[in-house]
Chain A
């Protein structure tokens, strides 16, 4: 049994310890917002936070996540300025990569509450969007900063 703390809830999971966290989240815990895109940590669709740090969950064997605080897209409240900005800027197209994009953006704003475009490019380069929503992602991150400044709570 592997003990996981995901979005504040404790789970005991019966799985092979080398299984990537991504597949445990999806297949054992039913948290389908974290996506599979490449399996080698190059697309960012599987991005989650582990102890506050953005991580590619396809590269993390579940045994290494044991006991750590894991946050997935489902653990970010709908009222979060990043989620609100994403809707207001009409960011998603196919939408498949967006949970990963949002997890990276949320992590960026925690460490850098007012990023410029270069900061954004640097923090978001690990997330591929095949639909090409990058311009809107930049815009939405700036908007999230503005929403936060007006009292929105991350």
Chain B
């Protein structure tokens, strides 16, 4: 957006972009209280609106309403404000926003971070915010100097008059606070940008490098106790009886209390709480969940996949076209449950007092968590102040539809006096559910006599993640189709005249949730592997077939060709290596990846190099885009090589990083990222790097070994020479 924006008071109220006069929000210093360093906070002089505070020392504090979980919003969102504010970038500071409707997501109507949406959803609002504040500062300078406003201009944290006089933003802050909110503002033309689009180092690196960054787990309040919770060994099980005598005898254990999610052991620290929990004797009423096994589920799912489900997309007459095709191929794919395994295990601090409650946690779901805690505590939502800390990874897990880790901590807080921190161990995290669902897919394609695909039939089986979530109404249609179950499969861009995509959504007791790239985490693997199968069946180069079928989709085609060219597609490789390619659209962005792979005689896969091309439209920080592509590639590679949560007799068989493994530095390929330059609307970057890597690697493996991987994680056993 550029040009003149007319701002009415109604717009400010509606968009929450500006909070003048009575709308100024009461700001707390959330982490300051916990850390006891409130004295170091610069005095606030003005709050030109809810997103900017300018101090007398010229610091410009941007209040960021999206959670920093590594994706870089504490840098990219301030860049949007600073650009239009004409701020001095070295004076920018960041503070997490409290919970307030003014900070709601512009598209989703609640305060949250997810769906790779932070930059595109704030691209206009935060620029308007910055521009409005800039206008107020310029007006203030003109008033001080008693000159025409047009003779003053904002430059790098100062207002400069044509005479050469200048005042810093800090000097002008007091006066600017008294200026009227501008009726219209001019946004810069992109050709004038000096911050947006320029490689910019993260603002949060220094504190993350010196150990001072405060994650939820690092919050300390005087008198705080620590709680661990013994949760059921089987999903859906309930406590039948508890013998807590030994647990209570552990020095440091203060309390053992039953809460809805299990049995809480509250102690003076982590270690006594853990020893106390280990000493609990609980008998569980296990219920039907105890009969569940993922091996059985996979069989059931595969059977279901051979029957038609609810139709998500139908074009032409796919069944007839398949029957009449010169050649038919079919394949069945499957992927497992996956845990998010954020490096910082889940945690939440609750300080419940007679006059209200403070909560500190790293969350992606501020509004929902605050409201859920208020319900548990019997408080009005405004009596609950939720403070967002840094998140030691999110990947969707910290946007829980039931606010599980916050609600549970609120229940524990009700049983004790004073503040309490609930900590999840790694084992609690791995066994705790809210997984990426298991999926089974059956695909069939028909080729004509020239090898062109004429029919594509894709049946998907898997649990709905939206069922029971706040987005159920929005995301599940009358036809019962959860859009996230079919995303990336339903809207395939390949020019095939007859298409059917259908869905079965079995209900299973295992809780499931969005996991970085959501439905695309599975559909890209399946679609991009099967189109490769189609190419090989047709005797065509997989890259060239994709090119041909994507001719009508310039952005898909653009990244595909860019990645292939940069990777040297078709050029010779060292002996024992092969390339695989995949292209996928997700979260309004387009990503293609070419992976160079070798396989040892023992079946060990080595990904040597990944060339990644990304088109995310107008972008803010290219450094972050590169980082997020690298990150997505490692995340997807970890799942492809190692990731599987399995259940036997209802029990999760994995527990920690010994049996739920992460890719490590020795498995890190060389990654190079190429960013497409255009003026399309901004797309996401946090997730779109994930989907293409698994199929790119598996397609390379096929090219190298002739073995088609249709089940993840890739089995070294299957690839043994």
Residues of A at the B interface (CB closer than 8 Å) are 16, 18-20, 23, 26-28, 30-40, 42-43, 45, 72-74, 78, 83, 86-88, 90-99, 102, 120-122, 124-125, 127-138
Contact = CB atoms under 8 A, between A and B. Distances in A.
Interface stretch (B86-94, B123-131, B210-218, B327-335): B210-218
A18 B201 CA distance: 42
Contacts of B201: 87-88, 90
A96 B205 CA distance: 11
Contacts of A19: 269, 271
Contact of B211 (A23, A27, A72): A72
A136 B345 CA distance: 24
A43 B211 CA distance: 17
B627 A23 contact: no
24 contacts: A19-B271, A31-B211, A32-B211, A33-B210, A36-B270, A38-B657, A40-B658, A43-B343, A74-B210, A78-B206, A87-B206, A90-B202, A90-B205, A92-B202, A96-B343, A96-B393, A98-B209, A99-B211, A121-B668, A125-B666, A130-B662, A132-B632, A134-B668, A135-B671
Interface residues of B, number: 62
B341 interface: yes
Contacts of B657: 38, 40, 42-43, 128
Given A37-B343, A94-B344, A95-B70, A23 B663 contact: no
Contacts of A30: 220
Contacts of B425: 39
Given A16-B252, A23-B270, A43-B426, 12 more contacts: A27-B270, A43-B662, A86-B209, A92-B70, A92-B202, A93-B71, A94-B390, A94-B391, A96-B342, A127-B664, A128-B662, A132-B631
A42 B658 contact: yes
Contact of B426 (A28, A31, A39, A135): A39
B83 interface: no
Interface in B177-214: 201-202, 204-206, 208-214
Given A43-B657, A96-B344, A97-B343, A135 B211 contact: no
Given A30-B220, A125-B665, A138-B665, A98 B627 contact: no
Contacts of A73: 210-211
Contacts of B665: 120-121, 124-125, 127, 129, 134, 137-138
Given A93-B70, A94-B343, A121-B666, A131 B211 contact: no
B635 interface: yes
B75 to A, nearest CB: 9
Interface in B646-675: 656-658, 662-666, 668, 670-671
B393 A33 contact: no
Contact of B218 (A32, A45, A122, A127): A32
B419 to A, nearest CB: 14
Contacts of B251: 16
Q: Which 9 pairs from chain A and chain B are nearest by CB? A: A33-B211, A132-B634, A95-B208, A96-B392, A93-B70, A94-B70, A134-B668, A73-B211, A32-B218
Contact of A95 (B204, B426, B664): B204
A131 B658 CA distance: 19
A91 B630 CA distance: 11
B170 interface: no
B692 interface: no
Contacts of A129: 343, 634, 665
Contacts of A78: 206, 210
Contacts of B453: none
B60 to A, nearest CB: 21
B633 interface: yes
Interface in B340-382: 341-345
B208 A98 contact: yes
A148 B371 CA distance: 52
B633 to A, nearest CB: 7
B426 A37 contact: yes
Contact of B623 (A26, A45, A90, A134): A90
Residue picked from A23, A74, A94, A130, most chain B C-beta under 10 Å: A94
B612 to A, nearest CB: 12
Nearest to A45: B343
A108 B570 CA distance: 40
Interface string B463-482: 00000000000000000000
A127 to B, nearest CB: 7
Nearest to A98: B208
Given A93-B71, A98-B208, A135 B670 contact: yes
A138 B632 CA distance: 18
Contacts of A133: 627, 630-631
Given A30-B220, A38-B426, A128-B657, A90 B627 contact: yes
